Amino acid sequence: MHILRSQREISQMRKAGLLVWKAHQVAAELVKPGATTGEIDAAVEEFFEAHRAIPLFKGVPGKVPFPAVCCISVNDEVVHGIPGKRVLREGDVVSIDTGCKYEGWCGDSAITRPVGQIEPEVQRLLDVTDGVLQLAIDLMGKRSRWSEVASEMGTYVRDAGFSVVESFVGHGIGREMHEDPQVPNFVSAQLRRNGDFALEPGLVIAVEPMVNMGSKHVKSLPDYWTQATQDAKPSAHFEHTIAITENGPWVLTGAPREGEEIPS
Ligand code: MG
Ligand code: MG
């Protein structure tokens, strides 16, 4: 069972969310032809350190512990790419996923950005993936169960001619990055059977659609972490940490509103 958070706790989580939002702005400055994914990761790590935020991804257990503060996945890489010497080139798309813990609360967000000029069909993939996340956020304030949102997300992506990745899902988030419930971007038998949950005030989840231009199938690369499309076609990934409040959904990793400041 998942935990519902008080308005006060959600406001605390907003601080971590603002830091993650700002980290993405720092990263965006470096997304250009010639930059390496390792340089982007180093800038985000420095930002978190300067703000006394604990990076959440570094050291995540696996066959080898995850070695960086961002997952950076380029083109056909879907998620969990390891930053390093790879040089970004004009026409690439780069998914940057990062999270931090601040004063005991977590935030997690991902954005896929174009490197210079990209193909129109790849831009459409980015727009549809961002669009399906925005749809989910909107519906979180209008539907009563997650399965209703997941169903509409699946339809939205299918109607665009793309595929929702089913191997990875979003998650509850709070004191830890990965908490209950699981948050799939599609309706599965498991969701229908016993995975569904109510959209009620206090729920805080990370919603993270991954959309492939071709088939939904992914494969693991030999580095033990990177997931790539089997058909080598591009993939996109967008994620926000979202709370449901009495006033509707609050995107905790969204841009600061008037009067809000990035925690120093
Ligand atoms: Mg993430
Ligand atoms: Mg996540």
Task: Give me the pLDDT at residue 116, please.
Answer: 97
Looking at the CA of 176, which ligand is closest?
2
Q: Which residues contact 139 (CB under 8 A, 6 or more apart)?
A: 148, 149, 152
Q: Are 164 and 216 in contact (CB under 8 A)?
A: yes
Looking at the CA of 57, which ligand is closest?
1
Does pLDDT of 157 surpass 90?
yes
Tell how far the Cα of 208 is from the centroid of ligand 2, in angstroms. 6
- Helix ranges, the chain (H): 7-30, 37-50, 120-140, 146-159, 189-190
**pLDDT tens-digit map of 182-216:** 999 999 888 988 999 999 999 999 999 999 999 99
Tell how far the Cα of 108 is from the centroid of ligand 2, in angstroms. 6
Question: What residues does each domain of the chain span?
Answer: 7-251
Written out in words, the top-level CATH class of the domain with range 7-251 is alpha beta
**pLDDT tens-digit map of 122-139:** 999 999 999 999 999 999
Tell how far the Cα of 9 is from the centroid of ligand 2, in angstroms. 19
Query: What's 13's DSSP letter?
Result: H
Beta strands in the chain (DSSP E): 54-55, 70-74, 77-79, 93-102, 105-114, 163-164, 170-172, 179-183, 204-207, 210-212, 218-220, 227-229, 235-237, 240-245, 248-251
Cα–Cα distance, 174 to 101 (Å, whole number) = 9
Tokens of 160: 């665009």
When pLDDT is averaged across residues 28-46 and rounded to a whole number, the result is 98
Tell how far the Cα of 119 is from the centroid of ligand 1, in angstroms. 25
Tell how far the Cα of 158 is from the centroid of ligand 2, in angstroms. 23
